[in-house]
Structures are given as C-alpha cells and as structure tokens.
Structure 1
Amino acid sequence: MATLAVQTIKLGGTAPTYSAAAAGTKIACDERTFLHVKNTAGSSMTVTLTATGQIRGQLVADLVVTVPATTGDVMIGPIPRELFAGPADGLATVTYSSTTNVTVAALRI
C-alpha cells in the first residue's frame, strides 16, 4: 500500500496536489490531518478508515464515509492515532469501494 504524502496548508495559501485513489492507501494519523476525497464518477462510493483503537475494552468501529456521485467532495478527519494507527507502522489504512474517477489528498492544518 502506498502512503499518501501529507501536504501542510500554509497561511499564505496552498494549492493541494491530488492523486488517483488506489485500492488501498495509508495516511499519517494526527489531530490535524484530514483526507480530502473527490469523486467525479457517476456512482457514489465509500471510503473506509480501518479502526484499530479500543475504548474501555471495546473495539472502535471502522469509519465508513459515503462520497456522493459526480460532484462528491468530502473532507474526512481529523484522523486520531488512538483510533486508527496501525500497530506495525502507526499509519491509518484507507480503502475505497471504487477508485474510478476518484482523487485524494492528505492535508494537514
């Protein structure tokens, strides 16, 4: 799985670079990091962040977000470590139900 490079939003402005969504990606976990997903396909799709955390011994559910068709534009996050960090690498795992006409960017405020 490829790791998305996190782009920091700067005070003077930032023009994010988007990449085509892959079947699965990784993203850094932190309270200031977000995933921006754009969907121009004719069908809605879902983005899933795999949860790894527990609260009082109960597993946290995966985060599943629907991105609308055609003009879908969704910000997901923040992505906290305690909920999504993988035990081996500390990164969150992201999967997409479809990658056709889907672009993504990892942004940090």
Structure 2
Amino acid sequence: MALLAAQQLPLSGLQATYASAAVGGDLAPVGEKLVLHVRNGSGSTVTVTAATPGTVGDLAVADAIQAVPAAGSVFIPLKSVFRDPMTGRASITYSAVTTVTVAVLQLP
C-alpha cells in the first residue's frame, strides 16, 4: 500500500499533485478537514472502497463504497470512522487502478 500525504488547500487555491492509485491500495490520513479526490481516466466505472474497521456492539460497520464514473471524479471525506487502529490511517482500495489518480486535500 502506498502512503498518501495531505496537501494544504490555501484560500488562494491549489493545483494539487496527484499520484497513481496503488494496485494494493493506499493509506490516507484521516481528519475532519481531509478529503480524498479520486479521478478516473478510464472508460469504465471504478469502485473505491474505504475500509471501516469499527464495530457497533458485535456488528461490523459496513465499508464505504463509492463508484467513480468513467472519465469522472469523486470526493470522499476522510473522517475518523475510517481510521485503522493499527496504522492510524484510512485503508483505500480500488477495483482497477489503470488511469486512476488520487490526492488527499486538507481544506482550510
């Protein structure tokens, strides 16, 4: 898994730097003002899964699953519910990674 770093989004704007989505998934920081921007450059929909390691009672909380349309993009809030207790980060996986790029943005 690749380790993604958050990029500060100043009030004046930002031209973000995007990384290729990793085959084995990515680890992203979590926090109240952090979002994952996923861009899909392929001709097919790509599914992004953010693991939710928590439980309520004995029941596992379902993972967050987001479809990214062909040639589209999505923003996924990286809230603390995605924090893995072992790594302190969110575990993000992709159904395909060819032409998929990602960036973690920290809002002002």
TM-score of the two chains, using structure 2 as the length reference: 0.92
Q: CA RMSD in A?
A: 1.1
The amino acid of 2:60's aligned partner reads: L
2:27 — aligned with what? 26
1:54 positional shift: 2.5
CA distance in structure 1 between the aligned counterparts of 2:56 and 2:105, rounded to whole angstroms: 27
Structure 2 stretches lacking a partner, 5+ long: none
Secondary structure (helix, strand or coil) at the match of 2:15 reads coil
1:56 positional shift: 4.7
The amino acid of 1:72's aligned partner reads: G
1:65 — aligned with what? 66
Q: Which deviates further from its counterpart, 50-59 or 5-14?
A: 50-59
Structure 1 stretches lacking a partner, 5+ long: none
Mapping of residues 55-94 of structure 1, within 5 Å: 55-69=56-70, 71-77=71-77, 79-81=78-80, 83-94=81-92
- Aligned residues, how many? 106
Q: 1:103 to 1:31 in 2, by over 3 A?
A: same
State the percentage of identical aligned residues: 42
Moved over 4 A (4+): none
Secondary structure (helix, strand or coil) at the match of 2:86 reads coil
